[in-house]
Chains A and B, each alone.
Chain A
Amino acid sequence: MVNTLRMLGRTGLDFFQRLGRAHLLLLAVLAGVPPLALRFSLVIRQLHSVGVLSLLIILVSGLFVGMVLGLQGYNTLVDFGAAESLGVVVALSLVRELGPVVTALLFAGRAGSALTAEIGLMKATEQLSAMEMMAVDPVRRVLSPRFLAGFLAMPLLAAIFSAVGVLGGWFVGVGLLGVDDGAYWSQMQAKVDLYDDIWNGVVKSIVFGAVVTWIAIFEGYDAVPTSEGVSRATTRTVVHSALAVLGLDFILTALMFGD
């Protein structure tokens, strides 16, 4: 009994200590972002590895999710004789919800885990220590550019996901199931609101991008510097990012569309 309590206490304490360290790290990382304006090439390289390398999985997934939406949406709508509204259904689902959320989950799996593994390995092989001894702050040199790149890449990836998804829905709905082409696009244009739908979706994807990247670089930087420690940190990145994204999605949705 006492032991159980003690273990609970220790787990709780560990959790809050990690949370504290994560916030301190975030502050240090953010302080390193403005100077990057002078060395933007560092960010470009990271944008390539975070963004461009995630592109393929985002394109393929977006296409399939859009096609499934087209199929499911058509089957429901056709019962109400509202098949022309398919464009609206597909676009709203993607822009408001699936675009930011699915992209963030894929981003955590593809880019987040890679970031954690890379930073954790740099720590395990003393590269971060060596930088410190060369009077180069690894937080500013290694973490800040990666954070900024993740922050910038995620909304763009989510936009691409939604755009490809709309095309996937069009392909199934208009191309295969015979929904009217003009109706698909004109209904979408009429019913999707720039502020209420698109902008809110963009806000979600910005928040998710920041949170996922933050978790990924913190887990890497805080990893136990052994191969086992790095592999556990990588797993944690994916799990914690997924939980954070889904939890935040509920909160943000409630705030944005709740009234």
Chain B
Amino acid sequence: MNDTPLVRIRDLHFARGDRPIFDGVDIDIRRGSVTAIMGPSGTGKTTLLRLIGGQLRPDRGSIEVDGEPVHRLRGTALYTLRKRMGMLFQNGALLTDMDVYDNIAFPLREHTELSEELIRILVLMKLEAVGLRGARHLMPSELSGGMARRVALARAIALDPMMVMYDEPFTGQDPISMGVLVRLIRTLNDALGLTSIIVSHDIEETRAIADYIYLLSGGRVVAEGTSAELEASDSAWARQFLHGEPDGPVPFHYPAPDYAEDLLAGTEAA
């Protein structure tokens, strides 16, 4: 197996308007691994996945996926690469005008010439993997948030991609399906020879399956390593994030004037 990284990000800069989101980020995603990207809300984790998928373009720096410069690809070349990437959106993003079955069949019908019998077998296999074979005739509006995300996972792996990006796969899962999902991601990764990128806040679950972890904050990678390395590291970032401590380098508060002065200031200045 080729041991160049599957995803190679160098000197990534990206801004929304005047606000920098990424300010020189380097990330390597090893082939066959489960890599977690963690960080406080609003640091740009979803944005990072969109940059890797080529939906956004960096202001500076490079993003290579399997040797292809995503940041410069357009049209057919980009679409060809995307067929090999699966993405699980934060809210599922199921197509609301079709039922569960058709949602999973959608990428197969769009990109392959398979017969409906074969598509049925593939769809049922993917649904069985996420435990929702019995829910195949439900419409997306009839699913709970957690079920919707599992359907979206089945859809993301429908085309047997080389890589799957999970945006917050664990939120909205009850403890049982959470455990199932954690194992599922690991099993799919190893059995299908995938490479997985997980964006998540759920530290325990993510640490349990991630081979390597990147901590993002303020537009930079503030710590990286395996779960054990981060545990042992003396990085204040890593300690605060892994243990959920309120005090540390990551501020809980949005910048604001002094609290006491603010309370005593009387009416709200226009």
Contact = CB atoms under 8 A, between A and B. Distances in A.
A132 B155 CA distance: 14
Interface stretch (A9-17, A133-141, A152-160, A244-252): A133-141
Contact of A133 (B85, B91, B111): B85
B83 A127 contact: no
Contacts of B80: 135
B91 A126 contact: yes
Contacts of B106: 134, 136
A156 B5 CA distance: 58
A136 B94 CA distance: 14
Contact of A136 (B53, B87, B107): B107
B82 A132 contact: yes
Given A132-B55, A134-B107, A135-B80, A122 B96 contact: yes
B95 interface: yes
Contacts of A126: 89-91, 93
A140 to B, nearest CB: 10
B89 A130 contact: yes
Interface residues of A, number: 15
Contacts of A141: 110
Interface in A6-26: none
Contacts, number: 54
If over half of A's interface residues share one DSSP class (helix, strand or loop), that class is named, otherwise mixed; here it is helix
A131 B93 CA distance: 9
A129 interface: yes
A227 interface: no
Contacts of B89: 126, 129-130, 133
Nearest to A134: B107
A130 to B, nearest CB: 4
A135 B80 CA distance: 7
A76 interface: no
Contacts of A134: 82-83, 106-107, 110, 155, 159
A122 B95 CA distance: 8
A125 B111 contact: no
B90 to A, nearest CB: 8
Interface in A111-165: 121-122, 125-127, 129-137, 141
A126 B95 CA distance: 9
A127 B106 CA distance: 12
Nearest to A49: B97
Nearest to B79: A135
Contacts of A121: 96
Contacts of A133: 53, 55, 82, 85, 87, 89
Nearest to A126: B93
Contacts of A127: 93-96
Contacts of B82: 132-135
B225 to A, nearest CB: 29
A174 to B, nearest CB: 46
Given A130-B87, A134-B106, A136-B106, 20 more contacts: A122-B95, A125-B91, A125-B96, A126-B91, A126-B93, A127-B96, A129-B50, A129-B55, A129-B89, A129-B93, A132-B82, A133-B53, A133-B87, A134-B110, A135-B80, A135-B82, A135-B83, A135-B110, A135-B111, A137-B79
8 contacts: A126-B91, A129-B93, A130-B87, A133-B53, A133-B55, A134-B107, A135-B79, A136-B106
Interface of B: 50, 53, 55, 79-80, 82-83, 85, 87, 89-91, 93-96, 106-107, 110-111, 152, 155, 159
Interface of A: 121-122, 125-127, 129-137, 141
